[in-house]
Structure 1
């Protein structure tokens, strides 16, 4: 194991991430209708053209009143009308008058308070009485109190999530300038994929990598094309030659090590890709390969993942996300958290990403390692909610602090 970790030419996790974040060129910018902007990264800041609220309105169902009195308890007001939400009429109240108003209704001019209906007694069709005291300007949403016209709503680089989309929609934003969505092809290499249970008897295995990557990329917000090809140099070369002109990213699984049937790297070179790095001092995922093809203004990046599914999953969470983010001009570091181990951990010659379960106990984030951490095993992903980064060549004890990233998919 020490020999594996001491292999020459390996780069660190931080070096690999830095190369992705600095070498990758951002994609072009496009204009999209707001409704199609979910999961996209903004290429231009967004400013509001309107005030929010755009007019002063009632925060409750009740009565808008005008009173010059300081103490309103037991005061009687004359009801002179009704205002529904969406009514565009302009009303004005005289001292001692009230209007029935509903949540979101436009506040009449000269309104001093809004009395919620729970503190109002209806004396007759035309009169009400307040049974509690009210503070001035109670339950009024004032023009521009949330957002003022010209105010920045979203900044360059911000990801449009559901909340952002709703907030921008409320402000009347119709379109967004965003970075183009990466076009991604996934190439599953190998002759060992089983189609049926009977195939297992022939030494084949069910494919986890294809469904894993398809689902991961869909969760990220990208539709992806999945291809399966045999471990044959000619097929791999033809595949790369075809894909490099039409995609921004090619993700492969398997074929990146030094075996007799590992054709991804030599075939990448044959089709014009230039290596950015190969082999990272980490576990799982050591033979990770990253390369770039450039032709005029087009760039295609090849992320060669190992074949073992746990290594595929870990590398996508760390490096796949960094690559797709960088293509959309997002180059910030991962959001590492700190937590405390609940058990001892043996040392290893390579830095490790362990699948763990994080939970809070008495205000502290605790980290429980899970069994079956080998790179060909996935069953512990049923319980894992984070990847924890374990330093190399250090034995860790219960209670020690380590860093990790939460996984949400």
Structure 2
């Protein structure tokens, strides 16, 4: 069996970014920008008032206090009709353009005014005060964003301000979730004798939604060769296929054979990981417009599927969406208690963080008692998993150990 690090390296080696597509800007949250985006105009496009008050010339404020004649009123969205005369001020609102020769905006609170004049109180005055010059934020032709960054809400706002109504981004991964097994019933139904509800599809779909994937959940496929062929053939039209169950070594574990019949090349089967050891991974047939489908055969136990997703599937989705290839994001923590680990499998143990956590200090994690790969009730109270090495080891209280966060 491969070590976890070896298996992850093979998975990432098989992954490549999805094609670039053009999308409306408002549909691109979380997408990876494919191209540089350049400013089409100066921002702001004029000298702009930053406060409500009075636009004046600093030359008229050499001696304070002073009284100036009150001229026109300039509102946001309007343009001044003329420059200021000597000894004149213009009432102005935040965001409005200044007269061409005004270089200061004095706040209302620092003045006394009536309909005809305004008195500027004695105060520190600097040229440019409360004025945002044209092009101060950026100039026409400046690069606003470089290709290869994630579109966050502030970045989308910046592009909207520049009129980038449509942008080219890495496409969204299409993921097929395919539950299999005669023992499964829909989670909305009452299970009969020897049956269980299909909870894995709901959990995996939620995990995929957090990773910004487009999910299609297949009906439950029975342990029947023809049904599996038909269902998996359709699933291979997706970019990633998560087949749940049927990948161990039992009589009804038919999935690996059917996938190979459909042209999926096996890369590995079984990994030195607990839970999740029976993991199967392969690469689908070549496609013209998109990379081959990446196919994961996940064990049917929910905890196994969860760990396999966090360790292998989530990093693959990052690559498909154009992000840098990286591992699952394991961080150091201190073990709250002693752990006697006797296994040659890299083991993921549910744990919760305890005490106060203030960066850059290393947090402390406490392992939780759990009932094995089907015990999802314990995971509800966990913050993640302690990651124990694929060798026998004893960990003392306070010793550093790996931790894989759930969120």
In the superposition, the TM-score normalised over structure 1's length comes to 0.87
Alpha-carbon contact 1:21-1:331 (below 8 Å) kept: no
Alpha-carbon contact 1:250-1:301 (below 8 Å) kept: yes
Within the candidate set 37, 43, 52, 1:52 is matched to: 43
1:351 aligns with 2:346: yes
Change (3 A) 1:147 1:229: same
Alpha-carbon contact 2:58-2:127 (below 8 Å) kept: no
Q: Distance in 1 between matches of 2:60 and 2:333?
A: 58
Q: Distance in 2 between matches of 1:208 and 1:230?
A: 16
1:137 aligns with 2:128: yes
What is the deviation of 1:187?
0.3
Within the candidate set 53, 56, 68, 2:59 is matched to: 68
RMSD over equivalenced CA pairs, Å:
2.6
Within the candidate set 359, 363, 368, 1:366 is matched to: 363
Change (3 A) 1:377 1:42: same
Q: Cα deviation per residue 1:166-210 (whole Å; 9 max; x = unaligned)?
A: 222122212111122222211001122245898446122222111
What is the deviation of 1:251?
0.9
Q: Cα deviation per residue 1:151-172 (whole Å; 9 max; x = unaligned)?
A: 3333333222323222221222
* 1:277 corresponding residue in structure 2: 268
Which is worse superposed, 266-275 or 18-27? 18-27
Change (3 A) 1:93 1:33: same
Q: Distance in 1 between matches of 2:405 and 2:106?
A: 47
Alpha-carbon contact 1:121-1:131 (below 8 Å) kept: no
Structure 1 unaligned residues grouped into runs of 5+: 1-9
Alignment of 1:236-251 (within 5 A): 236-244=228-236, 246-251=237-242
Change (3 A) 1:195 1:22: closer
Q: Distance in 1 between matches of 2:170 and 2:6?
A: 26
Alpha-carbon contact 1:342-1:366 (below 8 Å) kept: no
Alpha-carbon contact 1:182-1:327 (below 8 Å) kept: yes
Structure 2 unaligned residues grouped into runs of 5+: none
1:292 aligns with 2:283: yes
Give structure 1 regions of 4+ aligned residues with deviation exceeding 6 angstroms.
none
* 1:317 corresponding residue in structure 2: 310
* 1:398 corresponding residue in structure 2: 397
Alpha-carbon contact 2:388-2:401 (below 8 Å) kept: yes
Q: Distance in 2 between matches of 1:406 and 1:142?
A: 46
In the superposition, the TM-score normalised over structure 2's length comes to 0.88
Q: Cα deviation per residue 1:223-264 (whole Å; 9 max; x = unaligned)?
A: 3221111122332122222332x2222111111111221111
* 1:328 corresponding residue in structure 2: 321
Q: Distance in 1 between matches of 2:113 and 2:120?
A: 6
Q: Secondary structure at the match of 2:58?
A: coil
* 2:221 corresponding residue in structure 1: 229
Q: Distance in 2 between matches of 1:279 and 1:233?
A: 22
Alpha-carbon contact 1:66-1:94 (below 8 Å) kept: no
What is the deviation of 1:324?
2.0
What is the deviation of 1:215?
1.9
Change (3 A) 1:368 1:59: same
